[in-house]
């Protein structure tokens, strides 16, 4: 019987709790079969035939027990999935995560819950995602450009997007824009530069936090024109933008998605978009290149990741569900109204994006001498 149990586990390639349950089913079947064999009088034709039928039924019962035991291990996912992001509610990352998460929940057949963990240039959320159990129930939606910048600025980060995660799939990108208070007497980038230069050291610019794309865009802009202006970091757009709108801050680089409500309400003015081409929602707003500012055209990309060591079959399940979710026309149309461009790519492509961005932004941070201050 021990041989039968061992061979059953070997044949099925089972291990752990599934293997133990399956082997248990086989063991019980073998035990019953052995009892029937010991009690039978094989010289009696009627008992011999009865034995054959008994063994057949007991074997089928053992097989059924084995199948039920294996089926008891529910297919992934069998409970809600948590998606961590490194930014507070209402910003571009939050808007994107909740919209995609809602559609992803339909594809996976389970609720997808967004968990906001802002702070430290994205490091808090990043570490929470990296330290989660690699079972597919905690994922991390990253602003990959922000994480690449933070990795270059915060040298002692305890988690790394390229090393401590499994890439699931690219989600898309959101363009940034240079915004100022609607009350500020400037209507172009050139006028803003002259305005700041007229009173060196008297103005400040807001960002989503130290080590964010918003921060580095501001640093590159001010360095490019030698502007003496103070950096004021906030914990995300939702805290920073109101201070830009009321004039506490003179300017800010922020996502079109996050700044759109205040711009529509007449509180903010767009001066330029940090994109290679004009944004369809803002056809009258020039690109930074058109405004004469070169080399500040980042792609603010987003991707979905799982903790290192997550099984390949789970990664494939989520990646396939993500691909279907992003192809949904209603989701695409809804996010397009907020300047979000969805663009799926598989895990290996996302990994290449992450590696390239880390290399590029490390060079930019070094050349601009940006530090965590």
> Nearest CA to 352 among 187, 182, 148?
148
Confidence (pTM): 0.74
List beta partners, residue 143: 302
Q: What is the pLDDT of residue 368?
A: 77
Q: How far is CA 277 from the centre of its chain?
A: 26
CB distance 112 to 105 below 8 Å: yes
Q: Six-digit token pair at 225?
A: 């024109």
| 284-290: long-range contacts, CB 8 A cutoff, minimum separation 24 | 285/177, 288/178, 288/189
Contact 87, 143 (CB under 8 A): yes
Name all contacts of 104-108 with Cβ < 8 Å and 24+ positions apart: 104/318, 104/321, 104/322, 104/325, 105/81, 106/325, 107/321, 107/322, 107/324, 107/325, 108/77, 108/81, 108/317, 108/318, 108/321
Tens digit of each residue's pLDDT (9 = 90 or more) over 207-239: 998 888 899 899 889 988 899 999 999 988 989
Average pLDDT score over residue span 76-105:
94
Q: Is 245 exposed, middle or buried (0-12, 13-18, 19+ CB in 10 A)?
A: buried
**What is the structure's pLDDT at 32?**
47
**pLDDT by residue (tens digit) across 354-369?**
999 999 899 888 887 8
Strands (E), 200-242: 204-207, 230-233
Q: Give the H/E segment covering residue 180.
A: strand 176-181
Which tops the pLDDT comparison, 18 or 335?
A: 335
* Residue % of the chain over a pLDDT of 90: 58
Residue bearing the bigger pLDDT, 70 or 287 = 287
Strands (E), 4-150: 81-85, 112-116, 138-143
Contacts of 265 by beta carbon, 8 Å cutoff, 6+ apart: none
Calpha distance 364→362 (Å, rounded): 6
């Amino acid at each position: 019987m021990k041989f039968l149990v061992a061979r059953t586990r070997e044949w099925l390639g089972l291990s752990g709790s599934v293997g133990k349950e399956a082997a248990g089913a086989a063991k019980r079947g073998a035990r019953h079969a052995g009892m029937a064999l010991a009690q039978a009088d094989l010289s009696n034709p009627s008992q011999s035939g009865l034995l054959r039928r008994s063994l057949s039924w007991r074997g089928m019962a053992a097989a059924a027990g084995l199948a039920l035991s294996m089926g008891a291990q529910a297919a992934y996912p069998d409970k809600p999935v948590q998606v961590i992001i490194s930014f507070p509610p209402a910003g571009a990352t939050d808007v994107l995560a909740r919209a995609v998460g809602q559609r992803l929940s339909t594809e996976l057949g389970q609720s997808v819950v967004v968990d906001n963990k802002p702070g430290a240039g994205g490091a808090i959320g990043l570490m929470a995602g990296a330290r989660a159990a690699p079972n597919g129930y905690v994922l991390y939606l990253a602003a990959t450009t922000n994480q690449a910048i933070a990795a270059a600025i915060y040298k002692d980060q305890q988690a790394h997007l390229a090393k401590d995660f499994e890439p699931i799939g690219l989600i898309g990108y959101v363009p940034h824009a240079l915004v100022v208070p609607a009350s500020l007497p400037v209507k172009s980038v050139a006028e803003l530069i002259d305005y700041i230069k007229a009173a060196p050291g008297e103005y400040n610019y807001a960002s989503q936090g130290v080590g964010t794309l918003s921060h580095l865009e501001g640093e590159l802009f001010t360095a490019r024109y030698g502007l003496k202006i103070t950096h004021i970091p906030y914990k995300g757009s939702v805290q920073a933008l109101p201070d830009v709108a009321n004039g506490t801050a003179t300017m800010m680089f922020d996502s079109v998605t996050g700044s759109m409500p205040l711009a529509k309400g007449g509180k903010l003015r767009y001066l330029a978009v940090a994109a290679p081409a004009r944004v369809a929602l803002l056809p009258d707003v020039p690109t930074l290149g058109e405004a004469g500012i070169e080399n500040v055209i980042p792609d603010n990309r987003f991707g979905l990741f799982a903790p290192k060591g997550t099984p390949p079959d789970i990664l494939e399940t989520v990646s396939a569900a993500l691909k279907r979710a992003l192809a949904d026309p209603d989701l695409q149309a809804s996010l397009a109204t907020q300047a979000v461009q969805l663009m799926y790519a598989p895990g290996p492509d996302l990994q290449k994006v992450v590696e390239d961005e880390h290399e590029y932004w490390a060079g930019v941070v070094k050349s601009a001498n940006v530090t965590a201050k």
